[in-house]
Structure 1
Amino acid sequence: MEHNRIPLPPLVTPGEVTTFYAYEGGAARNAMLSALALQLAGAGAGAPDRTRAGSPVLMIDWDLDAPALHRHFELSSDGEEACAVLARPDADCDADPGLPPGAEGGAGGEAQRRARPGLVDFFEACRTQLRREASQRTGAGSDEVLAERVLDAIDWQNYVERADQRRPLYLMRAGRFDGSYAERAGRLDWEALFDACPALFRRFGARMARHFSHVLVASRPGRSPAVSVCTTLLADRLVGLFTPSPGSLDGFEGAVRRAIEYRCTHEDEQRPLLVYPLACAPDGARSDPHQRWRRGDARLGAPGYQPRIEVLLRACYGWPRVNLDSYFDELQLPLADAMSTAGPGTDRRALARFAGVLAEWVAPGRFPWQSLDEIRLRAAVARARPAHSGAEFAANARELADSLARLGGLCRREGRFDEARACLEECLALRQDTLDKDHPSVRAARADVALLLLDAGALPEARRQYELLGQSCARSVGADDPETLSARSRLARVLAGLGEAERALALHEQVVAACERALGDEHPATLDSLEDLAISLTQQHEYGRARIVCERVLEGRRRQLGAEHEDTLRCGQRLAQLLGEMGELGNARRLLEAVLRARERHDGPDAAGALGAREALAEILAAQGDLAAVRSIQESLARTRERHLGAGHPETLDMQLRLASTLGQQGETEAARRLREQVAELRRHLEQAEGIDLQRSEAEDRQQREHGHRQGPGEGVQVSDSLGHKLAQLQNLIDSRSPREARALADSLRNTVLRPSVADPLRRRGAAMIKQVYLQDGDKDALLSFTQDEVSSLEGALIEAARDNPVPSR
């Protein structure tokens, strides 16, 4: 590696420090770090845009006992990459007995390269400078100031060398590999350095990040003060590799918990830490064909690494929606490939794909529970945000709108309605600004917004959007076009939900007649309009008519799409629940069991559709009095929700309460009491945390208003929104026709929804859903009372606004 002075001015935006940690062994750690470094420095198509342009990357070998990172980038004396100089463990050479394992090099220029300083030499210089400062200091100063003075006195560029001539890739090796290296490395006392200047390591990392977009640190394995420096004091991001070996995952979990705990309990260290786990098996995902290591095996009592890590991240971040399916689908590292990439003469392509995918999470700082699809869509949104005017603005706006539409659809499917609404409404606004008001893309965007509002229970707003959509479709494609008829059919559903039953049913009948006349009895648009009619009839408790219509839709879907198409299964489940309402429990059970088997076969037992079908089946079984079967399903659903959402998530707690009720009906009163007490305790903790979050949210809102700053949709990180989760749960209870549970939750949310700090869209959505529950429950007194509270809340907000912004006197 050539050793010239490095012309690296400070970056406009400082970079990030990423520590690579493996509890045991460093070969896979070094291989993955090296592969990621090449990606971030611009070696592959998967590298982010800003790194492709040549952003510098620094690697630091902190594994002083077995330094080997330099072997991945060994250069000959003329600066070109060489394949023949790589030292092998079995090489027959005159190795210096003072060198650490793996530090022996090839011939030609190796003695010169051994003499170059590195990490050990840098911190030896820091130790010397700290002693000098201690002897010369006349007054007390902060640790931060002392750390900066020490680092100012030592030129870090003397300890860093170029590792690649084609890319801005640099290395700080473990140290000068001479006869005294092992003794000097062993003599370096990390705890003493920290005691002398606690801010030294943090400021060192920050200084390196001023000049390098990414600083990748290879930590030593195990547990030691050096490991704590790398994982706790230096890191902004932590990549942890673990294997099926006993203790490997425990070691990774321990390192994460210690780092998080330290940062939470030390005021100067309260910085975020992003954690990226890497599962390493001998042959990657192929080593675990039945996914027992990943998912667990209940028969063996093995929980699986994915559920364990999801629990770990939920506890560390306080974020309930941790699902690592997409992450681990992409990143299960083959150890065999990692072990084969130990030098520049080997085929580095073995890990290139994994490193490229990991870079998509690490480079922009995305959470590992964000799916790869979401990450790529957010990257597309960021790239497409218009920065120019004229024709280029219009082109960028159309690209941005398309990306926002796809991102909004993804958020909607995952139940994140607020994020979905922000994306879809911005998409609609962009298309309205750049296209004709009746353009097909504008109509499609409006249809997406309207459907989201309908699903979220924001019925007045959904009504307005469907009215506009119907008018636009009629002007553009005609009154009898399937698109126009679909908009009118959905409008009828909204009207039914708002209590305008006669108008809704009249509109439904008009739409159905028009579909049959223009398109035929079994056209998809005709079946869709009939299904909408069945939903409205069910809401009006006209079960007999609803059943006839639903059966017709189910038969038509079976002929057109097949018995196991998603639309057919959805309609079958709807009919089964309707039969349950009518008391035909045997028919309902058989139909639901068939739907559940198909969903589990196609989507898996933990898919959302399968969980919904299983929960609906439990309701039918409960009505039949088969409490043993109900208990079995509820226990399974409770475990699944706890695994995917966390023990304190509202949906998990709701299922635990249902299970407690079943236990009580079976006569197990003590078990039911203990379970209810456990749920109550968890809810108390959640309410306390919610109060803290609310205070923090109000402070952040005030700060944003003072600075006039608002973050755009699709940017930044996800923020925990417990009210949003509860409203999503309420919508699920409404859809699944669980009136008792929906009423209880609606009552508990009355005061929360009307708080002044709640965002206006969330407040309106919550208020509409609570009114819908009271209306369906037939409780006009509760509806009137809540409406009066809502008016009082609005009056209070107006009075407060007038006080803050008085009208000047004339």
Structure 2
Amino acid sequence: MRLLSFWAADPVPLSLLLPAAQGRVDGLEHLDPPLTAGRVEPALRALLDHSLIDLVETDGHRCLKAHGVLLDSVAAGVPDAERELLAGAAGRLLRAALPQEDAASPRARSQVRLLAPHVTGLLHRSRRHALVTAESVRIAARVARLVYEAGDWTAALALAATAAQTAAEHLGDEHPATIEARSGQGPVLFRLGRYAEAADLLRPVHRDALRTLGPHDARTLDAAYELQRVLHRLGDLAQARTLLESVLDGRRRALGEDHVATLKTRCEMLELRLAQDEFDGCTAAAEELAGDCERRLGPEHLVTVWARDAPARGLLRSGRGAEAEALFRRVLAGQRAGYGDDHPLVLGVLIQLSRAQHAQGKREQAAGSAREVAEQRAAILGEDHPETVAARAWYAEVRA
């Protein structure tokens, strides 16, 4: 119960406790009494028998659940000598439970949704007793990123902001873990359409990273990458291009041509070139990039799917609507397979499909696709989101 009290009162996946039952978590053996591998299952059975916890199923996962008042009471009685051990063990268990591969799969996303409140709970307990560490902040920032990738941007922003505030208070503004946590808020604000706010946040983060970590550090490059995306949306294409060129060069040097982060940067560069009306050579570069991604990451990888989006846009701009539609359908199928039908990023491809249909004179099909995007963006992002506004405008144009 002392271990459970360092998490939230939400359902705890049984898989989260598996490393403890296997004796693979340092620190638990030093408790009084020690929580050794052989004692985990009997302890859980005893808690179930005495109705102190319940066994429930949540989103296809078998979980334990304890009442919040009980957990608060137990947490208040934890001996001071054991708090640091328990906080460390709770963090290591959370880290071990995070998806390592195929994080975009539906089961991985449901696992992350279950873990997110427990990360917040751990930060809450750690802040109260001055036990915040760089590791606990990094775990929170990692989970916030996974929640963001799952498409729950509002929840991701709340967790990312909590991680950043906690890090700043307990580690200082210039600690590397604080810079990572602060940077993590940028992409979420970007997806929520709060571009100016994201730029105001990321500019000082990038400056601090340059000063404290240096221009070649991966975290500095990550901050620059996120900042240029925001500047792109704000129309500062020249500054965005300068930043993105530095990121691409840095990632090539540090990670190599085959790394997924390098390939993502090349995808971003293609989008920026198209935004700057640099069409010469873009089609060949897009086809080369899509081929590189397919060879190095596989045909179903979401970055490979993204890489196919650029040549589809190029075909659309050059008036080859039928070819663009066929490729956009392939991209759409890939995104739905990777993200699921209800992910907001799928809608960005669907509106391009509508444009390709419209370019061919398929007015009814284009209007149907545009209406679906406008309605779903309003439901998911809200009526005031810039992408909802753009979708409404396109739908009105198609209907007219």
TM-score (norm 2): 0.62
Shift of 1:421: 2.8
Q: CA RMSD in A?
A: 5.0
The 5 Å alignment of 1:554-565 reads 554-565=248-259
Contact 1:463/1:491 (CA < 8 Å) preserved in 2? yes
Output the CA distance in 2 between the equivalents of 1:527 and 1:649. 27
Shift of 1:483: 1.9
Answering whether residue 276 of structure 2 is matched by residue 582 of structure 1, we say yes
Output the CA distance in 2 between the equivalents of 1:483 and 1:649. 29
Contact 1:579/1:587 (CA < 8 Å) preserved in 2? no
- C-alpha spacing 1:414/1:772, structure 2 compared with 1 (3 Å): farther
Contact 2:137/2:181 (CA < 8 Å) preserved in 1? no
Letter in 2 for 1:569: L
Letter in 2 for 1:521: P
Q: How many residues align?
A: 326
Report SS of the residue matched to 1:568: helix
Q: 1:427 — aligned with what? A: 119
Q: 2:240 — aligned with what? A: 546
Q: 2:384 — aligned with what? A: 771
Contact 1:457/1:769 (CA < 8 Å) preserved in 2? no
Answering whether residue 227 of structure 2 is matched by residue 533 of structure 1, we say yes
Report SS of the residue matched to 2:261: helix
Shift of 1:534: 0.3
Q: 1:275 — aligned with what? A: none
Answering whether residue 373 of structure 2 is matched by residue 745 of structure 1, we say yes
The 5 Å alignment of 1:472-491 reads 472-491=166-185
Quick one: which of 599, 602, 605 aligns to 2:299? 605
Contact 2:141/2:163 (CA < 8 Å) preserved in 1? yes
Quick one: which of 582, 596, 605 aligns to 2:290? 596
- C-alpha spacing 1:631/1:744, structure 2 compared with 1 (3 Å): closer
Q: 2:163 — aligned with what? A: 469
Q: 2:309 — aligned with what? A: 615
Shift of 1:442: 3.0
Contact 1:558/1:568 (CA < 8 Å) preserved in 2? yes
Greater gyration radius: 1
TM-score (norm 1): 0.33
Output the CA distance in 2 between the equivalents of 1:641 and 1:467. 28
Shift of 1:530: 0.9
Q: Deviations over 1:423-454 (max 9, x none)?
A: 22223314543674523343134313443565
Q: Deviations over 1:744-785 (max 9, x none)?
A: 5243464xx5xxxxxxxxxxxx3x4553235774989xxxxx
Contact 2:324/2:356 (CA < 8 Å) preserved in 1? yes
Output the CA distance in 1 between the equivalents of 2:173 and 2:339. 45
Output the CA distance in 2 between the equivalents of 1:520 and 1:550. 16
Output the CA distance in 1 between the equivalents of 2:339 and 2:211. 48
The 5 Å alignment of 1:19-34 reads none
Letter in 1 for 2:134: P
Letter in 1 for 2:293: R
Report SS of the residue matched to 2:300: coil
Contact 1:576/1:592 (CA < 8 Å) preserved in 2? yes
Q: Deviations over 1:88-121 (max 9, x none)?
A: xxxxxxxxxxxxxxxxxxxxxxxxxxxxxxxxxx
Contact 2:306/2:331 (CA < 8 Å) preserved in 1? no
| Range that drifts further, 422-431 or 770-779 | 770-779
The answer for unaligned runs of 5 or more in structure 1 is 1-48, 51-365, 681-739, 754-765, 781-810
Shift of 1:598: 1.9
The answer for unaligned runs of 5 or more in structure 2 is 1-40, 43-56, 394-400
Quick one: which of 127, 130, 141 aligns to 1:447? 141
Q: 2:104 — aligned with what? A: 413
Answering whether residue 200 of structure 2 is matched by residue 509 of structure 1, we say no
- C-alpha spacing 1:473/1:632, structure 2 compared with 1 (3 Å): same
Answering whether residue 213 of structure 2 is matched by residue 522 of structure 1, we say no
Output the CA distance in 2 between the equivalents of 1:556 and 1:403. 33
Report SS of the residue matched to 1:549: helix
Report SS of the residue matched to 1:606: coil
Letter in 1 for 2:105: E
Contact 1:425/1:449 (CA < 8 Å) preserved in 2? no
Shift of 1:418: 6.0
Q: Deviations over 1:334-356 (max 9, x none)?
A: xxxxxxxxxxxxxxxxxxxxxxx
Contact 1:428/1:442 (CA < 8 Å) preserved in 2? no
Shift of 1:649: 11
Q: Deviations over 1:495-537 (max 9, x none)?
A: 6656472x65454333323222222221212211111210120
Report SS of the residue matched to 1:563: coil
Report 1 or 2 for greater relative contact order, CA contacts < 8 Å, sequence distance ≥ 6.
1
Q: Deviations over 1:283-321 (max 9, x none)?
A: xxxxxxxxxxxxxxxxxxxxxxxxxxxxxxxxxxxxxxx
Output the CA distance in 1 between the equivalents of 2:347 and 2:187. 31
Output the CA distance in 1 between the equivalents of 2:266 and 2:187. 19
Report SS of the residue matched to 1:771: coil
The 5 Å alignment of 1:74-473 reads 402-405=92-95, 407=97, 409=99, 413-414=104-105, 420-430=112-122, 432-433=124-125, 436-452=130-146, 454-455=148-149, 456=151, 458-459=153-154, 465-473=159-167
Hey, which of these two has a bigger chunk of helix by percent? 2
